[in-house]
Structure 1
Amino acid sequence: MKTNEIVIGKVKDWLQQENKSYQWLADQLGISKALVGFMLSGERTLLPKRIEQIADVMGISTKDLLHYEELKQGPLTVQLRGNASNRRSKRELEALLFAIEDYVGLNEQVK
């Protein structure tokens, strides 16, 4: 995930949790609401100094704002629609499930 995407996601989540508006953030940063909108939509790249300012407004360190946390909500679920009606489809589905289980097992060994 790109730095811009990480920061944008965290800022949007924080604004929603704190019940703050784009206008409020713009006032805190001394910029226009339109610029905040462009930054949080990804149309404008967040400059390092702006990331520092946003972290200060949020009351967290720049490192925490930039840190990407993987989802740790439990096992992932794959949901397939339809059914495997012939032997070839069934074999391919079994091979896919085996590959997924193999990947998950290897991934856990690396951690």
Structure 2
Amino acid sequence: MRSDENTLLNVKGWLAENQYTQAWLANQMGVAPSLISQLFNGERKLQPVHIAKMTEITGKTIAELASSEETKADELVYSLRGKISTEDGERGLAQLLLDVEHFAQLIVK
């Protein structure tokens, strides 16, 4: 399973454990409830900015949100820190993350 899918499953689980709704999460993230619904239904792509906000809200690390039961504890996890100030930068980072994920999938094969 891809890390973005794991992230969404883990956030859904966290919401259920803490008895919060998707609307509550949307409010905390400062986005429309429809965006959260679309993310959870796979209609929209989970962006790094969404992941960053979800880590702040849940108190979990990116690695914790992206992990699954199949993920081994010794697997390599990359964490990028900082802030991107332009749309071009955000698109570039999103593309880089996608490229890294595809590369990692090729190595596993």
Q: Does 1:60 align with 2:60?
A: yes
Aligned length: 71
- Conserved 8 A contact 1:4-1:42: no
Alignment-derived partner of residue 38 in structure 1: 38
Alignment-derived partner of residue 69 in structure 1: 69
RMSD: 1.4
Deviation at 1:64, TM superposition (A): 1.1
Deviation at 1:8, TM superposition (A): 1.2
| Amino-acid identity (%) | 31
Which gives a bigger RCO, structure 1 or 2 (Cα 8 Å, sep 6+)?
A: 2
The SS at the match of 2:70 is: coil
Letter in 2 for 1:42: G
| CA deviation map 1:65-88 (0-9, x unaligned) | 1122229xxxxxxxxxxxxxxxxx
1:1-111 aligned within 5 A: 1-70=1-70
TM-score by length of 1: 0.60
Q: After the TM superposition, which parts of structure 1 deviate over 3 Å for at least 4 consecutive aligned residues?
A: none
TM-score by length of 2: 0.61
Gaps of 5+ in 1: 72-111
